[in-house]
Amino acid sequence: MSKRIAILTSGGDAPGMNAAIRAVFRCAKMRDPHHEIVLFKNGFRGLAGRLEANMDVNVQRAELRGILNRGGTSIGTGRVEELLPVPEHHPDAEARNKARRAFLDVASVNLYQLGIDGLVVIGGDGSFSGARAIADAYRQRFDRPLRVVGIPGTIDNDIWGTDYTIGFDTALANTVDAIRKIRDTVESHQRAIILEVMGNTSGWIALSAGIAAGASVILLPEFAEHLDPNSVVNRCIAALRGDYRYFIVVMAEGVTKTAKDPHLVKHIAQAIETNPEIARILGHRMSVRHNVIGHLARGGTPSAFDNVLAGRFGHGAVQAILGEVDIPQGVDDVAVGLQGRNIVFMPLSEVIAHSPRLISPHDELYHLSNNLTVQENQPF
């Protein structure tokens, strides 16, 4: 029996999302050309909008030709405030809950009118939570089966249950490229640089990019105890005593929130520039620059790794919707992931409950970074 499979991308865009869309389409059509693919535009906003303006029905091969190596998402994305959980004591809780119920109701009706059998959501844990809320509302109202499959698509690489997410490898390469380029300048001038990179709650990009590009210090939002400007200064002194001609601090954007200091960058810069020991070693004060790599990390052609991963995830999503893989009994909604070399299927509720996946003090990469970056009491 042919199925109708809908796809949407949600949250922040990630390189490789287009490859996942293409993979779902091709893998479904290779099994049965009568399977229909529906594309919702602009994320959940399109799903809960006017259907004739926000979707493509029965998509054909020519419509997806050429999207494989494009960054971003060809069908658009966005964040939807109505799907966010409403805090119990929020001053506008009643109005927000009413708006949330209305949004879920429209989305459910649209899915029912289109006869959707499976919904593939490509995004992060917030997108997965929104998809599950819509699916629950749909099943409660219409008592009709619907399988939601979450494909992890976020540059932050912070989805629980998968080693990698779509977009992380490309964003990492973009970030490393930026660090390497700016290193040439700071080395020439014997400067310090504070590079702020993507990562609001998790520091996977900062950690991996810092290791790959040879950062002097890596500051992560998971470790508030390491965010003292004086500690950074002491590590800078250790670097200069070791004949470093530069000092590179890679900092995840969420660090200022963890440190509860919105001016942390300024305070670190001032501490370095006014330190007398640094001035004595150099013969002059050390100038500090601050750069934000930001959304540049999201852009550009997806890496080969991201496109292959997206293809595997898209294939897994089709397998889950068509019942070709074992899904635990009683589980309607799943997420695909990569563990080691294998594609795995996990209950979406578990992925949501354990996300975001943060860096642990026991992570091997974290231990490696402590060996490769400059330490205060470095023995060599």
Just list the catalytic residues. 156
8 Å CB contact between 140 and 119: no
Task: Check: CB of residue 48 under 8 Å from CB of residue 110.
Answer: yes
Beta bridge partners of 289: 193
Non-local (6+) Cβ contacts of 67 within 8 A are 18, 19, 21, 22, 74
Burial class (CB in 10 A: 0-12, 13-18, 19+), 184: exposed
Residue among 253, 295, 288 nearest 182 (CA): 288
Q: Which residue has the tokens 């001609």?
A: 245
Which two tokens mark 220? 């992560």
- How far, in Å, are 52, 209, 328, 356 from residue 219 at the CA level? 47, 12, 40, 18
The token pair that represents 216 in the structure block = 């002097």
Of the candidates 55, 20, 9, which has an alpha carbon nearest to the alpha carbon of residue 318?
20
